[in-house]
Amino acid sequence: MKKTDNYSLPQWEKQDFIKMEDFNDLTQKTDAALKAHDTALGEKAAATALAAEAENRSAALAALQTALSAAIGSGGKTCRIITGSYTGTGTTSVSIPTPFYPVLAFVQSAGMATALCLFRSADTVQNNKDFGVGDGKSLTVTWGARQLSWVCSSGGTMSSIYAGNSKNVEYHYVIVGFDNAGA
């Protein structure tokens, strides 16, 4: 009995006697080849579907990024917050650099004796704003593009306390602002 070149399947010739083993062997080989082909097609279809899904997700992500950039950009400002602390030096002034344009600051001493709330308002066009802090004293606040500073404009022994800068006292702050290249 002759065999095929690719799968060694039996090829009967006129003089061959057909045996059940040969016939069953042919059936098993055919079944296995069909199953392997079916599996390969399924894997290819799954890979194609996966590639299409990845492409769809990539396109959706790009669209989301574009929409998000447009939405954030339309407001022109992205809110930023920085927290930190400093130890008082006993002087009447404090300066805190910020990585953004500051508009609001909360300062609190660790012992809660001093609390300041400083805000930049529409009338701070000249960047200076006086805040009354008690006992006839006031803070002159200077709002920079990347910095906030203030000084207690009245002298005296209590000025560093009102300025939030008592010697060796720890102060904590939260400063809120925004990214704004034009500010």
For strands 128-134 and 137-143, give the pairing: antiparallel
- Whether the CA torsion 119, 120, 121, 124 is positive or negative: it is positive
At 141, is the pLDDT very low, low, confident or very high (cuts 50, 70, 90)? confident
Distance (Å, rounded) from C-alpha 56 to C-alpha 46? Answer: 15
Lowest mean pLDDT: which of 58-62, 75-79, 145-149? Answer: 75-79
The confidence score (pLDDT) of residue 147 equals: 93
What percent helix, strand, coil does the chain show, rounded to 5?
Answer: 35, 35, 35
- Cβ–Cβ < 8 Å for 148, 80: no
Structure tokens, 31: 């079944």
The confidence score (pLDDT) of residue 2 equals: 81
At 134, is the pLDDT very low, low, confident or very high (cuts 50, 70, 90)? low
pLDDT of 90 higher than 80: yes
Average pLDDT over residues 88-111: 89
At 5, is the pLDDT very low, low, confident or very high (cuts 50, 70, 90)? confident
Average pLDDT over residues 147-170: 80
pLDDT of 20 higher than 80: no
Instruction: Give me the DSSP letters along 79-138.
Output: EEEEEEEEE--SSSEEEEE-SSEEEEEEEEETTSS-EEEEE--TT-TTSEEEEEEETTEE
> DSSP 3-state assignment of 166?
coil
Average pLDDT over residues 124-137: 55
**Model confidence, pTM:** 0.54
Lowest mean pLDDT: which of 13-22, 36-45, 168-177? Answer: 13-22
Largest CA distance in the chain: 126
Token pair 């917050």: residue: 81
What's the mean pLDDT when you consider all of the chain?
Answer: 79
- Torsion over CA of 116, 170, 96 and 115, rounded to 10 degrees? 0
Single out the residue of 105, 103, 63 nearest to residue 86, CA to CA. 105
